[in-house]
Amino acid sequence: MGIDKLDQLYEQHLMTVRRRADLALAATGFDTLVIHSGIAPLQFLDDQSYPFKVSPHFSAWLPVNASPRCILVYNSGHKPTLLFYQPDDYWHKTAPLPRAPWTAHMQIIPFLDPKQVSVHWSTLGRVALIGADHTFDELHGTLNPPNLLTRLHFDRAIKTPYEVECMRRANTLGAQGHRAALAAFRRGASEYIAHMEYLLACNQREEEMPYNNIVAFNEHAAVLHYQHLARNAPTHSNSFLIDAGAQYRGYAADITRTYAARGGAFADLIAGLDIVQLKLCGEVTSGRDYRDIHLSAHRLLGDLMYDSGLIKIPGQAALEQGITSVFFPHGIGHLLGLQVHDVGGVLADVEGKEHQRPKGHPYLRLTRMLEPGVVVTIEPGIYFIDSLLATARTDARGEQINWTFVEELRPYGGIRIEDNVVATASVPENLTRDAFSKLDAQTA
């Protein structure tokens, strides 16, 4: 798909965003929406700022992701206005005005002084401001009205064709990075070098990643959000878990793969988990309750662990007795989009009613009914986490666990396999598997 086609999709996307905003404004008594792109906050007692991260509420309207202090003004029923910050600054490079085809759908006005910019919306009726409380220099409007935000959050779960295409492209970049990081692991590099090879293959800086890459060798894979990058390669290589994404026009990919250094029981468990993961991806269908997919994951993982000899009872019984949660303590996935954990995951309607998480599963981030256009992650895992294992040893669950096998697998840390999947009216679209398949076909 060429860039001209993507820009056609953007026009349709913007029409959808405007329609959703019109409905939300009318329902909540506002006339105008003013959205701030954000500001990079300063570090404590320093003149250096943290990396800038654009507000997803802002980038839902337009692909401007690296320009702080910009403002989107939308008066219901009228053409949106982008107020583009262009300071007189010789310390930093001032961003030029955007010239891409999407700008035809915006009025673009440059400005120098954030303290005077509210003149562009102060006469546009009742105004809803969206942004952190420190971003607006003048609060001419109501800041972050909860009822309006809830409506926008609920609607954002349904991705437009433009958004899905951006996520396809993000998955393509992520697949390239994953292949490069795996090659680094295979040749004996460190976690740090594997991470750097990933960034190079994606052609993105670290701060452009949608989240901090998890690059974990051996027992580090048991830390769900492992945050370090060892500079030295391990003396003995067992396993490699990489959870790393990429972004395209602000839309995220979120991909995880796990590899064994050699054949054996851990490699067999990875192969079994891959089969389970694909079955769960097939459950991402319109009308499906995502909570049921989560519980299905526990049953399938329980059966896999039972068949492998890791636990002594099959999946349904293991779920009921809480044994699967010892090895799989997180949710099966989450919404994905402009945020890695996109908003609105537990909402049942635009009014803010929520779907409750299943009892005993507090970490599930998504409880909604799936609809066409919803993009989710499917990320089952089996981990050997010391604290959870220690607790299980002391209660009735310990009798149903093969502790000899656990000790054999502990040096490998754990397994997670994660794809990004689009619910459709028929067969789900697996953005991640498609990206890897196309990459493999190109390199064959």
| Mean pLDDT of all residues in 106-115 | 95
d(CA 195, CA 53): 21
Q: Is 232 left (phi over 0), alpha (psi -120 to 50) or beta?
A: beta
Is the pLDDT at 333 greater than 50? The verdict is yes
Per-residue pLDDT reduced to its tens digit, 181-221: 999 999 999 999 999 999 999 999 999 999 999 999 999 99
| Topology of the domain comprising 161-443 | Creatine Amidinohydrolase (3.90.230)
- pLDDT value of position 383: 98
Is the pLDDT at 69 greater than 50? The verdict is yes
- pLDDT value of position 1: 47
| Mean pLDDT of all residues in 37-44 | 94
- pLDDT value of position 3: 59
Is the pLDDT at 2 greater than 60? The verdict is no
Percent with pLDDT over 90 in the chain? 95
- pLDDT value of position 256: 98
How does residue 137 score in pLDDT terms, banded at 50, 70 and 90? Answer: confident
How does residue 444 score in pLDDT terms, banded at 50, 70 and 90? Answer: confident
d(CA 411, CA 405): 11
Long-range contacts of 422-426 (CB under 8 A, 24+ apart): 422/159, 422/164, 422/167, 422/284, 422/373, 422/374, 422/375, 423/284, 423/285, 423/286, 423/288, 423/370, 423/371, 423/372, 423/373, 423/374, 423/375, 423/376, 424/285, 424/286, 424/372, 424/373, 425/286, 425/372
Is the pLDDT at 4 greater than 80? The verdict is no
Per-residue pLDDT reduced to its tens digit, 379-396: 999 999 999 999 999 999
d(CA 146, CA 151): 9
Per domain, the residue ranges of the chain are 3-156, 161-443
Q: Is 414 left (phi over 0), alpha (psi -120 to 50) or beta?
A: left
Q: Which of 205, 202, 233 is nearest to 220 (CA)?
A: 233
Lay out the sheet containing 375-378: strands in order across.
375-378, 419-422, 429-430
How does residue 18 score in pLDDT terms, banded at 50, 70 and 90? Answer: very high
Per-residue pLDDT reduced to its tens digit, 219-246: 999 999 999 999 999 999 999 999 999 9
**The domain defined by 3-156 carries CATH number 3.40.350.10:** yes
Per-residue pLDDT reduced to its tens digit, 84-102: 999 988 888 899 999 999 9
